[in-house]
Amino acid sequence: MLLSGLARSHLFFASLLIAGALAEAPAPAWADQNDGSGGGPFDFVSGRARVSPVPRTTVALATKHPAGSIIVNTTERRLYYVLGNGEAIRYGIGVGRIGFTWAGVTAVSGKREWPDWNPPPQMLHRRPDLPRHMPGGIENPLGARAMYLGSSLYRIHGSNEPETIGQAVSSGCFRMTNEDVIDLYNRVNVGAQVEVLR
């Protein structure tokens, strides 16, 4: 269908008005402009939903752990960040599959934004098809943030596979959605105590 010059000019100006209105619209509440993932409930690279099937929430928690510490309950598949005064933030996590679970007390020994991934030799032995090195980014299996646990190979890290939250699928690390791991990363300090319960 051919449009007259007048009709084309009206469409052009209408599109400018719509674009201007969209540009001035406030960002939605879920948009985190600093997380490197484009904001929103969907990962535009993979097309997958980024929302955890286990929403984070503040809960009552009677514990002797100090504020700022982390409790990982692998049976529940939940991670608790202790706020103090009988409260904690509860996050859904993915945990180690059978044969890869562990328990103990350690500490956060380091933090990285968009960390590189170097599969350890044990993992490469099981999966020789894996890359030897993968730079940080949206496709990296460590996701947007990583918190390293003691001198071990284990981490609390992000994931681009929110469907695995609440599942036992990892090689011993604890995975969270990118939104949740960014939230935790911004709260936790290097040196924070971490207790992993089975």
The span from the CA of 121 to the CA of 139, in Å, is: 21
Is the model's pLDDT at 45 over the cut of 60? no
- As a whole number of angstroms, the distance between CA 40 and CA 25 comes to 15
> Across-strand partners of 82?
88
At residue 47, the pLDDT reads 46
Neighbours of 116 (CB within 10 A): 13
Tell me the residue length of the chain: 198
The letter for the amino acid at 33 is: Q
Nearest alpha carbon to residue 112 among 78, 135, 80:
135
Structure tokens given for 13:
């100006």
The pLDDT value recorded for residue 121 is 76
Residue 60 has pLDDT above 50, yes or no: yes
Sheet containing 174-175: order of strands? 57-60, 87-92, 78-84, 70-73, 193-197, 104-113, 145-149, 155-157, 174-175
What would the two tokens of residue 26 be? 């406030």
Q: Which of 34-38, 93-97, 189-193 has the lowest mean pLDDT?
A: 34-38
- Is the pLDDT score of 40 beyond 90? no
Whether the Cβ atoms of residue 38 and residue 44 lie closer than 8 Å to each other? yes
Q: Between residues 4 and 166, which one has the greater pLDDT? A: 166
Chain segment 2-11, per-residue pLDDT in tens: 445 444 444 4
The answer to whether 156 and 147 have CB atoms below 8 angstroms apart is yes
* Structural domains of the chain in order of their starting residue, each with its CATH number: 57-197 (2.40.440.10)
pLDDT at res. 51: 67
Are 104 and 172 in contact by the 8 Å Cβ rule? The answer is: no
Q: For position 176, what pLDDT does the model report?
A: 97
pLDDT band of residue 50 (cuts 50, 70, 90) is low
- Is the CB of residue 49 less than 8 Å from the CB of residue 160? no
pLDDT value at residue 136:
83
Does the pLDDT value for residue 167 go beyond 60? yes
**Residue 151 pLDDT level (bands cut at 50, 70, 90):** very high
Q: Provide, rounded to the nearest whole percent, the portion of the chain with pLDDT above 90.
A: 52
Q: What is the mean pLDDT of residues 153-181?
A: 93
